[in-house]
Amino acid sequence: MIICSYIDECVDDNGGCEEICVNKPGSFNCACPEGLRLASNGRHCLDVNECLLRNGHGPCQDTCTNLHGGYTCSCDGIPGTQLAADNHTCEDVDECSGGTAGCSHTCISTLGRVFCMCPPGYELGEDWKTCHDINECDLEDTPPSCPNSCVNTVGSYICVDEPQQRSPEEQEPCESGYSRDETGNCVGKSQRSPNSSFRKLC
Ligand SMILES: [Ca+2]
Ligand SMILES: [Ca+2]
């Protein structure tokens, strides 16, 4: 009767391996964890410099720093960006998040810079942050559609009806019991007072 017994070389001093010893029937070999490679002596593990690829960037979009058994990426070389959740690419830092970054209205962030924008009817002030109403009635380059009856409003403007220029003879007669006063309004004959509660507009 022949009894075969395998010797586990890894039991004794880890088989002489620096990191991982893999026992096999009749033999064994050394291995290294991810990020390290087996040295030519078959026992020691050497670091892999992942950053040597791509002109020193390695797998990183920007800066690659080699570590023993690994590497780390950073985005110090691309202003306005930060390392994304994938730990490799660089993403724009949104300076507008959590606030308006000083903009009175709309905040836009791109590549580390903040731009403020204004809604229609407003223009950006000298601080490049605060939106001020445009007085459309005073615009010379693009005058309003009603240059003679323009009233500026916040964010826009309105056109008010121009006052009637017709002479009293051309105006329609007032209802019975009313007559037209000096401003052209029909007022009760017995209440010819500007403050009268019986004042009636035609
Ligand atoms: Ca490394
Ligand atoms: Ca306006």
Total of domains in the chain? 2
Distance CA 23, CA 30 (A): 9
- Does residue 152 belong to any structural domain of this protein? no
| 17 Cα to the center of ligand 1, angstroms | 20
Question: Which residues of the chain, if any, have pLDDT below 70?
Answer: 1-5, 162-172, 183, 189-202
For residue 15, what are the domain limits? Answer: 9-46
- Does residue 115 belong to any structural domain of this protein? no
- Does residue 190 belong to any structural domain of this protein? no
Ligand nearest to the CA of 133: 2
Could you tell me if 88 and 55 lie in one domain?
A: yes
Question: What pLDDT does residue 84 have?
Answer: 95
Ligand nearest to the CA of 154: 2
| 16 Cα to the center of ligand 1, angstroms | 23
Could you tell me if 66 and 33 lie in one domain?
A: no
Tally of residues, the chain: 202
- Does residue 70 belong to any structural domain of this protein? yes
DSSP structural state of residue 200: B
| 87 Cα to the center of ligand 1, angstroms | 15
Question: What pLDDT does residue 100 have?
Answer: 79
CATH number at residue 66: 2.10.25.10
Ligand nearest to the CA of 118: 2
Question: What pLDDT does residue 116 have?
Answer: 92
Asked if residue 116 lies in contact with residue 102, where contact means CB atoms within 8 angstroms, the answer is yes
- Does residue 161 belong to any structural domain of this protein? no
Question: What pLDDT does residue 194 have?
Answer: 46
Ligand nearest to the CA of 136: 2
| 119 Cα to the center of ligand 2, angstroms | 11
Distance CA 138, CA 142 (A): 9
- Does residue 191 belong to any structural domain of this protein? no
Question: What pLDDT does residue 13 have?
Answer: 92
Could you tell me if 55 and 87 lie in one domain?
A: yes
| 155 Cα to the center of ligand 2, angstroms | 4
Could you tell me if 41 and 54 lie in one domain?
A: no
Distance CA 9, CA 73 (A): 39
Ligand nearest to the CA of 135: 2
Quick one: 102 exposed, middle or buried, by C-beta within 10 A (0-12, 13-18, 19+)? middle
Give which of 197, 193, 175, 171 is closest to 184, Cα–Cα: 171
Q: Structure tokens of 132?
A: 């001020």
Asked if residue 182 lies in contact with residue 171, where contact means CB atoms within 8 angstroms, the answer is no
| 134 Cα to the center of ligand 2, angstroms | 4
Question: What pLDDT does residue 169 have?
Answer: 57
Domain closes at, from 35, 65, 92? 92
- Does residue 41 belong to any structural domain of this protein? yes
- Does residue 24 belong to any structural domain of this protein? yes
